[in-house]
Amino acid sequence: MTEPRPRVWVSQPLFDDVIARLEEHFEVVSTSGVAEYTPEQISAALSKASGALVTLNERIGAEQIAAAPQLRAVANVGVGYNNLDIPALSRAGIIATNTPDVLTETTADFGFALLMATARRITEAERWLREGHWRQWSFRTMLGADLHGSTLGILGMGRIGQGIARRASGFDMRVLYHNRSRLPEAVEREVRASYVGFDALLAGADHLLLALPYAKESHHLIDARALLQMKPIATLVNIARGGIVDEDALADALAGGRLAAAGLDVFEDEPTVNPRLLALRNVVLTPHIASGSLATRRAMVSLAVDNLIAALGYGPNAGAPPNPIRA
Ligand code: DGY
């Protein structure tokens, strides 16, 4: 009799041809349609699984771990992993992995695109045009803010933040950044960015872009107090995680003219968008798509597959997945 193959759960429809690589080693349980799970359904899906390939939608915490006695590895398709309780997984001896690097440039491209759309009011102008408001060319229609020659503040100077800084030098922007730890001088020189304190970043930026990981410490870091320190002509762009911004405080600032505009790709309670933000004209809203080019999404899934195969002890990197998340 042949040994049953370990079971892996693939939580969402990804790319079948990439996922097929899992079938060389495992019994794969997957879903054909985009699925929304309750915590109990996630526990049930994990109850007989040795491994799981999940997206940021699926939260795995103590309750799911307790229901999953055979679980040995969780491969997250994404660089951010605030959907996973890493300390709890680590205590249970379960390896968790993510997909850094492969999405850096695509996400930085999008961050820059969102910054431009926000500063130059591109989506607002398009809506206005489609609604039939354009009667004649006018000198003062949809006046926005310049990127070139302005000061860009980047909060969170990891790989994606650095990618944004490189793009900014092509626009002759002055780049300030703040990060948990200061970058080595050689990297600062290469990306042409100057380190400043948090408050100086807020006060100095004409455009502030958030690219930091979400953690307890970054929850509502951009709150009413922080927004008050920003220039009223400034724009705020968030491609990190929604929970970093207090959305009600942001809506107050935007509605009250204390901030010019915001570009948001991420939200605190996705897929629900704060109705106050939906009602404002000076906000560009996108549905968490910063890493969403076809090539990059395929690369993310492929890397997550490599991670899962290796974490479960198969393939050329058996036992040494490329991207373990350290607790
Ligand atoms: C990530 O990778 O964390 C993105 O937010 C989802 O692609």
> Could you report the per-residue pLDDT of 17-43, keeping only the tens digit for each?
999 999 999 999 999 999 999 999 999
The predicted pLDDT at position 9 comes to 98
- Residue 327 in any domain: the answer is no
Whether residues 84 and 111 share a domain: the answer is: no
Active site residues: 241, 270, 288
CATH number at residue 272: 3.40.50.720
pTM here?
Answer: 0.96
* Count of beta carbons in the 10 Å neighbourhood of residue 129: 12
Scanning the structure block, which residue is given the tokens 């492969």?
102
Scanning the structure block, which residue is given the tokens 């915001």?
262
DSSP structure string for 92-121: TT-EEE---STTHHHHHHHHHHHHHHHHTT
Beta bridge partners of 235: 207, 261
Whether residues 184 and 49 share a domain: the answer is: no
- Residue 199 in any domain: the answer is yes
Residues with CB under 6 A from ligand 1: 56, 78-80, 103, 291
Is the separation of the CB atoms in 192 and 167 below 8 Å? no
Alpha-carbon distance 306 to 315, whole Å? Answer: 8
Share of the chain above pLDDT 70, in %: 100
The predicted pLDDT at position 208 comes to 99
Ligand 1 pocket, mutate which of 291, 301, 325 (most atoms under 8 A from CB): 291
Whether residues 77 and 146 share a domain: the answer is: no
Which domain, by its residues, includes 119? 104-285
Whether residues 78 and 97 share a domain: the answer is: yes
Residues in the chain with pLDDT values less than 50: none
The predicted pLDDT at position 327 comes to 87
DSSP label at residue 240: S
Q: Which of 170, 164, 282 is nearest to 232 (CA)?
A: 282
Ligand 1 pocket, mutate which of 84, 98, 103 (most atoms under 8 A from CB): 103
Whether residues 153 and 257 share a domain: the answer is: yes
Whether residues 234 and 263 share a domain: the answer is: yes
- Residue 2 in any domain: the answer is no
Whether residues 130 and 253 share a domain: the answer is: yes
Whether residues 187 and 244 share a domain: the answer is: yes
The predicted pLDDT at position 3 comes to 82
The predicted pLDDT at position 1 comes to 67
Alpha-carbon distance 204 to 192, whole Å? Answer: 16
Whether residues 85 and 194 share a domain: the answer is: no
Q: How many domains does the chain have?
A: 2
Whether residues 120 and 94 share a domain: the answer is: no
- Residue 172 in any domain: the answer is yes
